Amino acid sequence: MGRPRSLPFVLVGGFALLLVGGIVLSLSSAPPLARQQLQDAAKATMSAPSFAIVVTDSVTSLQPTSPASPSQALAPVRIRVLYQAPDAVEESEAEPGGATASVILIGSRSFRESNSQWTELPLDKGQGARAVSSTMIPLRAASNATEVTGQGGSYRFVPNQVQHFVGTVFGIDASEVSAPSLRAVVRGGYLTAETITAVFDHQRLALGLAFSAIGSAPPVSPPPVSPSSGPQSGAPATP
């Protein structure tokens, strides 16, 4: 039996080209590393059983009032948020004079603090879940980011429907938003900070979120209330 004929060079070359082409195609279809890192980190934070957030909201006027004062900034508002899966949120905000205003939502129950006293409000089915959904909006935006650049844990990103997202976050008409910018920080596999800025009506709006105690935040529990303050645990809503 003679030696088997070798495959024609053109056929071998064509097979090699197909193989290389398949590798290139698989690489081009894979998510870029920065985008994958940011999306994975955002999803990890969202999946945590609990976390705390410090939210800082600020507004800076872009209209100069005098040559010596090119812009004016309003005092930032800081809100502390505690999240506990699946449907519990506590929000606290410092008021002028050192007092604190707080709201707790757990499932269908809600509580409001005023003058260091807690009042239970009428039951509202699903409000805890709605509050959690709102809390997750910035994380969801990072988890579905379409354009991501950055390295070393610091990223700039563009989410799906960026104008709609920014309008929702700031509570304004999306068509009136300009110059949106989003940044995120990833540490230890979690998204730990997010900054959102935009321009609206000659003002620069900025929202900063700092996530901490991811997976180990204090529990969100019903506060002590007086019997006459509202519906108690297990009581039906007042008609």
Share of the chain above pLDDT 90, in %: 64
Q: How confident is the model at residue 76 (pLDDT cuts 50, 70, 90)?
A: confident
Average pLDDT over residues 208-231: 87
Distance in angstroms (rounded) separating the CA atoms of residues 201 and 206: 14
- Which of 73-77, 163-167, 183-187 has the lowest average pLDDT? 73-77
Q: Is the pLDDT of residue 220 over 90?
A: yes
Q: In 112-223, which ranges are continuous DSSP H helix?
A: 127-135, 137-143, 162-170
- Which of 9-23, 135-149, 204-218 has the lowest average pLDDT? 9-23
Residue 116: predicted pLDDT: 81
Q: How confident is the model at residue 200 (pLDDT cuts 50, 70, 90)?
A: very high
Which distant-in-sequence residues (6+ apart) come within 8 Å of 233 by Cβ? 109, 222
Residue 237: predicted pLDDT: 44
Q: Is the pLDDT of residue 124 over 50?
A: yes
Please count the CA atoms within 13 angstroms of the CA of 122 that sit on its side-chain side: 4
> pLDDT digits over 29-67, tens only?
445 899 999 999 999 999 999 999 999 999 998 876 666
DSSP state of 70: -
Task: For residue 114, give the 3-state DSSP assignment.
Answer: strand
Distance in angstroms (rounded) separating the CA atoms of residues 86 and 49: 8
Q: Which helix (H) or strand (E) holds 150?
A: strand 147-151
> pLDDT digits over 201-213, tens only?
989 999 999 999 9
Residue 100: predicted pLDDT: 81
Token pair, residue 17, equals 């080209």
Task: Please name the amino acid found at residue 68.
Answer: A
Domains and CATH numbers, the chain: 33-63+71-212 (2.50.20.20)
Token pair, residue 164, equals 């709609």
